[in-house]
Amino acid sequence: MTSDIYQVMDPLSESEYEALKSSIAEVGILYPIIVDENGVTIDGHHRLRAAKELAIKDVPKSIIAGLTESEKRIEARRINVARRQLTQAQRKKLIKDSLLDAPERSDRQIAVDLGVSPTTVGSVRKEMEKSGQLSKVDGTVGADGITRRKPIVIHSPNERQERMLKNPDVVERMISDGLTSPVYAQRVINLESKAERKSAEIILSQADVRVIQADITGGLPEVADSTIDAIITDAPYAKPFLPLYEHLSKLAGRVLVDGGSLLCMTGQSHLPEVMRLLCSCDKMRYHWTLSYIAPRASPNLQWLRVSPHFKPIIWFVKGKYGGDLVSDIIHIPPDDGFDKVYHTHGQSVAGMRILVEKFSRPGDLVADFFLGAGSVGVASVLAGRRFFGSDINEEHAKTARGRIADVLSSEL
């Protein structure tokens, strides 16, 4: 993106421009193009034009971020003064433009920027005030009281840095904390945001939880479109249940919000078919596979000569994922296996809570459509998330309701 909004010098004559272009063709661009965080050219308009006409692709570039519109013009004048041999008339014009941009700045400050004497700036100021071009100010901001902040300068930025500098929060954090890396500034912001979310106090009530008996093959009309923030579920692994994964995929594509995640724990015996069926909805996109590692290994599969130590969690996203950075290894803390009391295939509440907290935020709506005895529901409530659960077995749904109600009562 280019613009003449910061073109502080008069355009070159055709002969001057052709001379510049010939020089660039012979020795290349010696001074980088200066742009702001949005890619708007602050300095180097003629060099950029010549580069385009000469089909030069790798144009050296530096980003200056964190400046106001007035400060960008000041910076453009400062750069031109430092690089060019200016005539007296050109310097006077730059002084006038600087005074019009920020008349409250002291003569000394403007003089330092433009490489002239404060007396010269003072003479131009009086001349402009006398002619009515400039209103007289009661006082100017002295050198010790300058409000202009030091800009952020990134030389030869890569694509990631350019993208991050378009975020005003990143630029503000770099300025306030004196940071030189937009990547690190973004990381600091993300960590603070994550810590703030974790400390958020969410008080849930029975109205924030709904558990029903329902068959997923019926499409669950009880769940409105685009209302679920994350689905965390442990579907049956045996071959007769494989068609359920297609229903799960289509349901997720309907009920998840944009960017919402589907995390489906599964076995490995039929993994290729599970993956194919989970891809059946064109709204859902495969994102990654997580390793869910429990403190105790599963029984050996002697017929396969395999000693399994993890379960895969297939991660699909509706649209584009924009959440936190997460590890693809989920280590489950030791527990007493109490969930097995409620359900033969019950999962650890501690393990489910790790998933809930990684893939949703406090107050979000989490769902489990293969509810079992409600481990995901209990974990969701403990983590301050609203919850919707369903299971084809009414007894399982009843058990889950009771467990979640107990947690809600103890949390109030």
| Number of Cβ atoms within 10 Å of the Cβ of 55 | 6
What does the alpha-carbon distance between residue 294 and residue 265 come to, in Å, rounded to a whole number? 13
Q: What is the dihedral of CA 395, 400, 406, 408, to 10 degrees?
A: -140
What does the alpha-carbon distance between residue 65 and residue 326 come to, in Å, rounded to a whole number? 30
What is the model's pLDDT at position 353? 93
What is the model's pLDDT at position 348? 85
- CATH 3.40.50.150 describes domain 206-411: yes
Q: Distance between the two ends of the chain, CA-based, in angstroms? A: 55
Domain with CATH 3.40.50.150 in the chain: 206-411
**Which of 140-154, 163-177, 269-283 holds the top average pLDDT?**
269-283
What is the model's pLDDT at position 318? 97
Structure tokens at 99: 């005074």
Q: What are the Cα distances from residue 324, in Å, to 64, 278, 327, 360, 364?
A: 28, 23, 10, 9, 15
Contacts of residue 359, defined as CB under 8 A and 6 or more positions apart, other chains included, come to 230, 232, 261, 263, 323, 326
What does the alpha-carbon distance between residue 225 and residue 245 come to, in Å, rounded to a whole number? 19
Q: Rounded to two decimals, what is the model's pTM? A: 0.63
**Residue 235 phi, psi dihedral angles, 5° rounding:** -75, 160
Residue 341 confidence class, pLDDT cut points 50, 70, 90: low
pLDDT-above-70 percentage for the chain: 91
Angle at 204 between CA 198 and CA 208, to 5 degrees: 115
What is the model's pLDDT at position 356? 95
Does residue 214 carry a pLDDT above 90?
A: yes
**177-184 mean pLDDT:** 87
Does residue 1 carry a pLDDT above 50?
A: no
* Average pLDDT of the residues of the chain: 86
**Which of 154-158, 161-165, 219-223 holds the top average pLDDT?**
219-223
